[in-house]
Amino acid sequence: MDNCVVGNSISLTELVNKFGTPLIVYDLGRVEENYKAIKEATGARVLYSIKANPNLAILTFLRKLGSGVDAASPGEIFLALKAGFEPGNILYTGAFRSLDDIKYGIDAGVLFNFDSRREFERALSLGYRPRTVFFRVDLGYGRGFVPGVTLAGEESKFGMFLNDAIDAYSLAKSIGVEEFGIHAMMGSNVLDAEYFIRIAELLREHAEFIEDRVGVRIKYFDMGGGFGIPYRPGEKPLDLSKLSVLRNFFPGELWIEPGRFIVGDAGYLVTRVTEVKRKGSRTFVGVDVGMNVLIRPMLYGAYHHIITCGGGEEQEVVDVVGPICENTDKLAINRELPRVREGDLLIILNAGAYVYSMSSNYNGRPRPAEVIVYKGEYGIARFREPLDSLIAGQVIPNFI
């Protein structure tokens, strides 16, 4: 891409002149390409994972493309309904949900994916009698870009091993459930196509064993998400052509839950250089966005590539740091960039997933605006939070 242009023709300089910085820009053309690519490759029913990016404009756009959604909370169900999704196109997957969480899903009429037999029993205690139900199994095999996002094995809080799953399906059969689904979400941001084929094999094996032991037929096979995108220069993208083996792989319908794959590389976090400080042997490039907006480098040690919109040709090694009162507020460490000056723009790539959705108001910093671009047009999708937003919902008790 031209460093200062997105969506083929929209100038980032023009956008920041109009909407200010920091600013997150989403290219819906890229979202559309990614959605169609993974759907075509796998032949699956796509449920977009809302947790990656819950922006209503993006949700509405994906609904119009034909996507369903994976929701992890009452809040995500609420957003999906606001974006126009039918309850039957919302799969509600959670872990250790409260009774209030479960009741919200029941009242909304969405499909449930249960993390344990006990969670299913708690739903039944509320009068829940579903026609269709999913259970989440732990296949004992997973992979993630850091240990915290590897979702398999005894140390993972998610899902159930095979014996517990058999008990859960048996209970569902006994109370008259007619349709069954099986779900497995085993990792995050995986770029190896062979991994997904192995997940499919294990999921099919688990399903066959459950069917044989319980006497049910599983109709829906949900492989979850984890489809990765390259973050570092030189990383090879996921080879979608190898996933064509998933077509007709299962005796029933294949579902997948990509989030990052659809929106990750469609997002650009634009920030302005506030100061360049040289301190001993180090050079700090200060910018007007910090870990309150982009927490991934501090939380996971995650890498986001940074490019300049302008800047000199001479390269230097710098730490890109934000304004938050934490020394961990470093967006990049020992990163080689063109020499920049105060007022220059930096563009943080792959900011479409797990950026705004993981943001906070830490240090009293309001969240940035979000702008959508599509086919040569652009528009505001979320306004920059005003300072008044910091006191929304707060009251001072009268005894103070």
| Catalytic site positions | 325
Write the DSSP string, 73-85.
SHHHHHHHHHTT-
Distance CA 349, CA 269 (A): 7
CB distance 375 to 382 below 8 Å: no
CB distance 253 to 45 below 8 Å: yes
Number of residues that this document lists for the chain: 400
Nearest to 287 by CA among 240, 254, 320, 336: 320
Measured from the Cβ of residue 334, the count of other Cβ atoms closer than 10 Å reads 9
CB distance 259 to 52 below 8 Å: yes
Q: Which H/E stretch holds residue 105?
A: helix 99-108
The per-residue b/e assignment along 97-114, b for 16 or more CB within 10 angstroms, e otherwise, is beeebbbbbbebebbbbb
380 SS3 class: strand
- Label the pairing between strands 377-382 and 369-374: antiparallel
Q: What angle do CA 169, 170, 174 make, to 5 degrees?
A: 115
